[in-house]
Structure 1
Amino acid sequence: MSPLEVTDESLLQRAGGGDARAFEQLYDRFSSRLLGLLRQMLGDEREAEDVLQEGFLYLWDHAGSYDPSRSRAFTWSVMIFRHKAIDRIRAMGRRARLNESAAVEMAVLEDCAVGADDTVEMKEQQKQVYSALASLPGEQRKLIEFAFLKGLTHHAIAESLNLPLGTVKTNIRRGLLKLRDLMKGGAL
């Protein structure tokens, strides 16, 4: 590195002081790598570009809180963009659940043949499922709730809880098997 070349850390600190030119240079250095990361996490070009823009706006607003003694500038930036991507994944999951919910509501409205007895039976089944879920060990219960009640993918769960993907999958599988046994055995 030549003595005239400015470090990422220096650029980020200058951007934290309001130096737009330093921030522009930081954008030029980081944007392609961060966009690649976001594409990989989100699997959608448009979403990745949106999160890239959101992330850089956040970076500009919070650059003053960067502490070079705690991490390198790129590492600090990656963490910000990673969290933004996880937030977007969660939001996309909520949108998908809303779409599914709307489809279910339409199906219910179209199928008015469901009688009161069926509704009572469904509510009783729902109580049994929640009771069985409550009897699972805490980690398995939490992972199943994230996957099935909150609609998060296994990858998103692993990222947000900082757990290995294999651990998430294994605990969800074990929890589902226990739920099945509880529901079949009626041991509630």
Structure 2
Amino acid sequence: MSQPELSEDELLQRAGRGDARAFDQLYDRLAPRLFGLLRQMLYDEKEAEEVLQEGFVQLWERAPSFDPERSKAFTWAVMLFRHKAIDRMRMLGRRNRLVDGAVLEQTTLGGSSQAADEALQDAERGEAVRQALNELPKEQRQLIECAFLKGLTHHVIAESFGMPLGTVKTNIRRGLLRLRDLLKGGA
């Protein structure tokens, strides 16, 4: 006789006690619905996949704090993933504002007599850079953003990511080379 299927609440409670099998089952049940929610919120499948992965890591870490008396497992998970998606939207918004600001600064430094079509080309270049950044592997993108958009030194980046300095420099260089190729139209 087969065992009855556990509820999502029971699976989450077991995951909170370190049961990896329960976590796997919970993932199988929740991931499709949560991915749909994230895709709707972020309008980007790639970003939704990243937030889904990060969200499940956080769910595993926070599972011991789940209280079935206060909410259902799915509701609890939705709130956790919703917050992750909002954080991601804020981060993407900051990145877009930084790139737009850099394009605007470049435009205004070029002189007030700059033609409107040049300003449009600058905006298009900014969008191309933004899209190319999004195509880089996550780690390279983060390191490049820290170095060039936040102005952090390689030493500070290495300390904050807990990486060897040489690894940070290598990943930034590889990311910049890949960014150059993407912007030239190569893949």
Q: Which range moves more in the overlay, 48-57 or 102-111?
A: 102-111
Alignment of 1:63-82 (within 5 A): 63-82=63-82
TM superposition outliers: structure 1 runs of 4+ over 6 Å: none
2:14 corresponds to 1:14: yes
Corresponding residue SS for 1:18: coil
TM superposition shift of 1:95:
0.6
Structure 2 CA distance, aligned partners of 1:59 and 1:19? Answer: 13
Structure 2 CA distance, aligned partners of 1:30 and 1:20? Answer: 15
Deviations 1:44-102 (A, max 9, x none): 00000000001000000000000000000000000000010011111111011001110
2:41 corresponds to: 41
Amino acid at match of 1:91: M
2:52 corresponds to: 52
2:138 corresponds to: none
1:177 corresponds to: none
TM-score (norm 1): 0.58
Alignment of 1:118-137 (within 5 A): none
TM superposition shift of 1:105:
1.2
Q: Specify which structure has the bigger relative contact order, considering alpha-carbon pairs within 8 angstroms and separated by 6 or more residues.
A: 1
2:120 corresponds to: none
Let me know the Cα RMSD of the aligned residues: 1.7
1:93 corresponds to: 93
Structure 2 CA distance, aligned partners of 1:16 and 1:64? Answer: 4
Amino acid at match of 1:66: F
Structure 2 CA distance, aligned partners of 1:3 and 1:73? Answer: 21
TM superposition shift of 1:112:
6.7
Q: Structure 1 vs Structure 2: percent identity of aligned residues?
A: 62
| Structure 1, unpaired ranges of 5+ | 114-188
Amino acid at match of 1:98: L
1:4 corresponds to: 4
Amino acid at match of 1:104: L
Larger Rg: 1
| Structure 2, unpaired ranges of 5+ | 114-187
